[in-house]
Amino acid sequence: MSTTTAHPKRTSITHRREKSVPHEVKETLDAVVTENQDGERCLNNYILKEVIGQGAFGTVILAYDKNTKMKYAIKEFSKSRLRRKDKANYFRRPRRGGLRGRGGVPGSSATNHTSDPLYLIRSEVAVLKKLNHVNVVKLYEVLDDPNNDSLYMVFEMCENGVLMDVNINKKSTSFPEDKMRLYFREMILGFEYLHSNEIVHRDIKPDNLLLSKDGVLKIVDFGVSEIFVKGNDKLKKSAGSPAFMAPELCVARHGEISGQAADIWSMGVTLYCLAFGCLPFEKDNMLDLYESIRKDDFEIPENTDPDLVDLFHRILEKDPEKRITMPELRVHPWVTEKGTDQLITTEENCTDMVTDITDEDLKSAIKTISMGAAIAVIVAGNKWRRISKSHHMSSEDLDKFKAMGIADEKRGSKENNKENNEENNEKNNEKNNEKNNEENNEENNEE
DSSP classification of residue 402: H
In terms of DSSP H, where are the helices of 54-98? Answer: 79-90
203 tagged catalytic: yes
Q: Which residues contribute to the annotated binding site for ATP?
A: 75
What angle, 0 to 180 degrees and rounded to 10, lies between the N-to-C axes of helices 395-403 and 371-390?
Answer: 140
CB contact at 8 A, 325 and 264: yes
Among 195, 77, 182, 83, residue whose Cα is nearest residue 136:
195
Instruction: Fill in the amino acid letter for 109.
Output: S
How does strand 58-65 pair with strand 46-54?
A: antiparallel
How does strand 71-78 pair with strand 33-35?
A: unpaired
Distance, in Å, from the CA atom of 284 to the CA atom of 327, rounded to the nearest integer, reads 35
> Residues 86, 145, 203, 233: which is the catalytic one?
203
CB contact at 8 A, 243 and 218: no
CB contact at 8 A, 156 and 140: yes
Q: How far is CA 46 from the centre of its chain?
A: 23
User: Strand (E) positions, 185-334?
Assistant: 199-200, 209-211, 217-219, 226-227, 234-235, 257-258
Positions marked catalytic: 203
